[in-house]
């Protein structure tokens, strides 16, 4: 089969039209995440935001308070706390508000995430984050690192207050996150990076946080151990799909949609699943020659075009869909109430975030 025909067939397999066939809708045009439609969602989000600010505030140290709350005030989807809340609510009657300890547990995971962003921006020498100047660009690397450490410490403080199991879980999650990040650093600019290196990395740096959030929701509400394990596995699988989708968007969305240069991971030498898959095909030879530690702008555009038009995006979408299908199957064994259905819907929402015409999708 000619390569071009194989490429077309791969797109048809997963039910997507090719990006060259129809215009792509904006990322902002995707449907609302089902978690945001739960009856308690607005109040829960407000509780999360207030708790985040309260936790990092130091009454006699406005300087550290300002730095540590900088990215909190910049906003965010707060998916990890919402997963903890929805996971807890999966065992409750519809419309029931969760105990504040669930919110605090979700906030602990979010603080780990935000603290890791402070550190990431130092490593990447980033100037912007969430449409505001990054902490390192405004206050310098040393203060960014120490403030990130402070957020991790506050997360640990909350976890310790919630009990030994939650404290141990959060410590393990931080370790997993670090291992995943180090694994990624080990393969930077490595065009021979494999799936066997990629998946453990994203399991640590991304999926571990979603798994921890869901598990905390189950632990704090004292759900049956089997359900706690299933919620944890749902969070892990969701997190895996989340990162694969994020990596797909990095190469198919526009600079404007992403808020950063498209193909930024390739610029930084992080070769994600769509790139790994593309490199394994015949068209990967040309891509391999372009991927260096000094990727020029014109070469970046050529590299992006190769990945976009090759089979790597389609095959990566299939991987994301498998993770989503497995996640929903695990969650169905826990509950079918509105919170559980919203979590399942959030998994489906991941693919809806991919900017393609979704007409006649058969995924």
* Number of CB atoms found within 10 A of residue 179's CB: 16
124 pLDDT tier (thresholds 50, 70, 90): confident
> Looking at residues 79-106, what average pLDDT do you find?
96
With tokens 């089902």, the residue in question is 34
The pLDDT of residue 4 is above 50: no
With tokens 């393990």, the residue in question is 172
Cβ atoms of 307 and 201 within 8 Å: the answer is: no
> Looking at residues 161-178, what average pLDDT do you find?
97
pTM: 0.89
Q: Report angle CA 100, 105, 106 to the nearest 5 degrees.
A: 100
Domains and their CATH numbers in the chain:
33-348 (1.10.600.10)
Provide CB contacts within 8 A for 148, sequence distance 6+: 115, 116, 117, 118, 119, 122, 135
Residue 131 CA neighbour count, 13 Å, CB half: 8
| Helix intervals (H) in the chain | 3-13, 41-56, 62-68, 70-73, 79-89, 100-124, 135-139, 141-161, 164-186, 195-202, 208-220, 225-252, 255-258, 264-267, 273-279, 284-290, 297-309, 312-332, 338-352
> Looking at residues 107-119, what average pLDDT do you find?
96
The per-residue pLDDT of the chain, averaged, comes to 88
66 pLDDT tier (thresholds 50, 70, 90): very high
Cβ atoms of 37 and 343 within 8 Å: the answer is: no
The pLDDT of residue 361 is above 80: no
The pLDDT of residue 84 is above 80: yes
Q: What is the pLDDT of residue 30?
A: 55
> Looking at residues 299-316, what average pLDDT do you find?
92
> Looking at residues 155-171, what average pLDDT do you find?
98
Nearest Cα neighbor of 158 from 122, 115, 119, 97 is 115
């Amino acid at each position: 089969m000619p390569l071009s025909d194989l490429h077309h067939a791969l797109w048809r397999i997963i039910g997507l039209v090719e990006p060259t066939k129809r215009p792509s809708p904006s990322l902002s045009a995707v449907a609302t995440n089902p978690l945001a439609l739960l009856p308690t969602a607005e109040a829960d989000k407000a509780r999360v935001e207030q708790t985040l600010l309260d936790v990092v505030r130091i009454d006699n140290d406005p300087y550290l308070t300002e730095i540590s709350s900088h990215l909190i005030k910049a906003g965010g989807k707060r998916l990890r706390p919402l997963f903890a809340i929805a996971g807890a609510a999966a065992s409750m009657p519809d419309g029931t508000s969760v105990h504040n300890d669930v919110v605090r547990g979700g906030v602990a995971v979010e603080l780990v995430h935000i603290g890791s962003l402070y550190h990431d921006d130092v490593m990447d020498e980033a100037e912007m984050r969430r449409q505001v100047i990054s902490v390192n660009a405004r206050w310098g690397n040393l203060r960014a690192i120490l403030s990130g450490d402070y957020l991790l410490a506050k997360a640990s403080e909350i976890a310790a207050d919630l009990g030994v199991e939650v404290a141990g879980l959060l410590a393990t999650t931080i370790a997993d996150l670090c291992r995943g990040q180090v694994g990624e650093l080990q393969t930077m600019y490595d065009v021979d990076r494999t799936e066997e290196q990629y998946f453990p990395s994203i399991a640590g740096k991304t999926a571990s946080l979603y798994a921890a959030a869901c598990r905390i929701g189950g632990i704090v509400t004292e759900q049956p151990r089997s359900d706690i394990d299933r919620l944890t596995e749902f969070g892990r699988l969701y997190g895996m799909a989340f990162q694969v989708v994020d990596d797909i968007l990095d190469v198919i969305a526009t600079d404007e949609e992403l808020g950063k240069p498209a193909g930024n991971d390739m610029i930084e030498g992080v070769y994600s699943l769509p790139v790994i898959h593309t490199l394994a095909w015949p068209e990967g030879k040309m891509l391999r020659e372009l991927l260096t530690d000094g990727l020029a702008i014109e070469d970046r555009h050529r590299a992006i075009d190769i990945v976009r038009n090759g089979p790597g995006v389609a095959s990566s979408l299939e991987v994301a869909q498998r993770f989503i299908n497995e996640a929903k199957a695990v969650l169905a064994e826990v509950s079918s109430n509105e919170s559980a259905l919203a979590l399942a819907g959030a998994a489906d929402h991941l693919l809806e975030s991919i900017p393609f015409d979704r007409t006649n999708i058969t995924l």
